[in-house]
Every structure is written in structure tokens, then in C-alpha cells.
Structure 1
Amino acid sequence: MNLENELLGIVPRSDLAAQHAASSRAASDDRQELLAQIRRLTQERDAWRERWKALWKAHND
């Protein structure tokens, strides 16, 4: 990028494309991490639900 363009805030298209690609990858990584957390929390919830069912059943027997 030449100094004039830099001073005017003009960014070459290739730089914008690279920034967009990096941003998209980061967003995708964030989504994957959130989905993994949701799966883990869902499994934990289901395990607790089964424990409570067993306790309730034992209490009522």
C-alpha cells in the first residue's frame, strides 16, 4: 500500500479479502466452540435429569 492510499484510508481489495477470510474463520471457530459447549451442557443436564429420576423413584418406592 502506498503512503497516499494509506493516509486516505484506502485499503487494497486483497487486504480486505484477507481480513474478511480471517474474520469468517474466527466466527466459524466461535460457532464450533459454542456448539461443543451446548452439546456438553446438554449431556450434563440429561445426566442430572437421570440422577433425579432415580432419586425420585427410590424415594417413592
Structure 2
Amino acid sequence: MQDVENQAAHIAQDAGDAITKGAQDAGAGIADGVQQFGKGIADGLEQLPEIKLPKFGRGKK
């Protein structure tokens, strides 16, 4: 009976390890995707022409 319990414990441990690794891999993949997305936005913004806005507020009277 103890062999069955040990075997079940090992199966549960292996399943837990696999779930943990899968979650870590998914988290790393998401982080990489967000980083690449942010870099794409930054690169796109660098390509936009500089916009010069008129100054408002106190000026010549």
C-alpha cells in the first residue's frame, strides 16, 4: 500500500513541477512580448516628425 502512496505522491509532485514550469514559461513569454511591443511603439514614435506647437500664455502685449 505504501508503494501506491509513494507512487501517487511522485506523480503529484511531477504534475506540480510541470504546471510550475509551464506557468514560468508562459510568464516569460508574455514579458518578452510586452517588451517587444513597447520597443515597437518607441521605434514608431522615433520615426514621427517633430511637431512644433505654438507657445500660448503670456506673450507680447
Using the size of structure 2 for normalisation, the TM-score is: 0.73
Please name the residue that 2:52 is paired with.
Answer: none
**Greater relative contact order (CA < 8 Å, ≥ 6 in sequence):** 1
Larger Rg: 2
Percent of residue pairs bearing the same amino acid type:
12
Unaligned runs of 5+ in 1: 1-12
Using the size of structure 1 for normalisation, the TM-score is: 0.73
Tell me how large the CA RMSD over aligned residues is: 0.9
Do structure 1's residue 41 and structure 2's residue 2 form an aligned pair? no
Alpha-carbon distance in 2 for matches of 1:17, 1:60: 65
Do structure 1's residue 26 and structure 2's residue 14 form an aligned pair? yes
Alpha-carbon distance in 2 for matches of 1:17, 1:23: 10
Alpha-carbon distance in 2 for matches of 1:60, 1:19: 62
Report the number of matched residues: 49
Which structure has more helix as a fraction of its residues? Answer: 1
Q: CA deviation at 1:15?
A: 1.0
